[in-house]
A and B are shown apart, each in its own frame.
Chain A
Amino acid sequence: GAVVSQHPSWVICKSGTSVKIECRSLDFQATTMFWYRQFPKQSLMLMATSNEGSKATYEQGVEKDKFLINHASLTLSTLTVTSAHPEDSSFYICSAYLGDWNQETQYFGPGTRLLVL
């Protein structure tokens, strides 16, 4: 149980285009999902917290107008990278809590690799 999927697994796009990444909890409902970014040889950095039915909470330094997050249902959160540029190329990973956030682990998706040319 507790499977999180992401789609697509990788995407290549031209500079200036927008890219949407989906994160789904397959067998549980997730009120809260998280989006992380990982640059090569670096650790995961939390970008934003996505709450179902409300606006996402962005970490300091993350442009909310560039990284649009929508959590329209209890099983789906989407991250849209708007007007992508080469510096946005990264590995994007989502996660979701199952159960109480202070007791349970986060379950992570397999990640989406974005390459902006």
Chain B
Amino acid sequence: KQEVTQIPAALSVPEGENLVLNCSFTDSAIYNLQWFRQDPGKGLTSLLLIQSSQREQTSGRLNASLDKSSGRSTLYIAASQPGDSATYLCAVNDYKLSFGAGTTVTVRA
């Protein structure tokens, strides 16, 4: 059974600082990995999708890397802003999505 772990569980940084969010998974036989954002009481917003053959994906201030062999992915958010405050979830797809528990980010103005 796929186990997905996210560290840290919570993170508080001042505005402008770069964010590094980690995700690890136990079974490397995946098709892709996604990072999502979830605001309190809301659904999920897909941020980045990395196929298993890719090493990284970038969108604006967001960059996600994938090392499938070691079962790790990292989400980098550059120059954080208060609007980045949310919970970030990673999910691995081996047909079904398995989610980590998330990292709750607070960016202080």
Contact = CB atoms under 8 A, between A and B. Distances in A.
B95 A101 contact: yes
Contact of A109 (B43, B46, B98, B99): B43
Contact of B97 (A91, A103, A106): A106
B97 A110 contact: no
A12 B49 CA distance: 35
Which among A46, A101, A102, A107 has the highest number of chain B CB atoms within 10 Å? A102
Q: Is the interface of B mostly helix, strand, loop or mixed?
A: strand
B44 A105 contact: no
A108 interface: yes
A46 B97 contact: yes
B32 A102 contact: yes
A33 interface: no
Interface in B54-103: 89, 91, 93, 95-102
Given A43-B89, A44-B89, A113-B41, A105 B46 contact: yes
Interface in B28-57: 31-32, 34, 36, 41-44, 46, 49, 51
A37 to B, nearest CB: 11
A49 B95 CA distance: 11
Question: For this complex, into which size category does the number of interface residues on chain B fall?
Answer: 20 to 34
B91 to A, nearest CB: 8
Interface string A28-56: 00000010000000111110010000000
B49 A105 contact: yes
A93 interface: yes
Nearest to A111: B43
Interface in A77-108: 91, 93, 95, 101-103, 105-108
A46 B89 CA distance: 14
A11 B87 CA distance: 24
Nearest to B4: A43
B31 A102 contact: yes
Given A93-B43, A108-B43, 8 more contacts: A42-B101, A43-B4, A43-B102, A101-B95, A108-B46, A109-B43, A110-B43, A113-B41
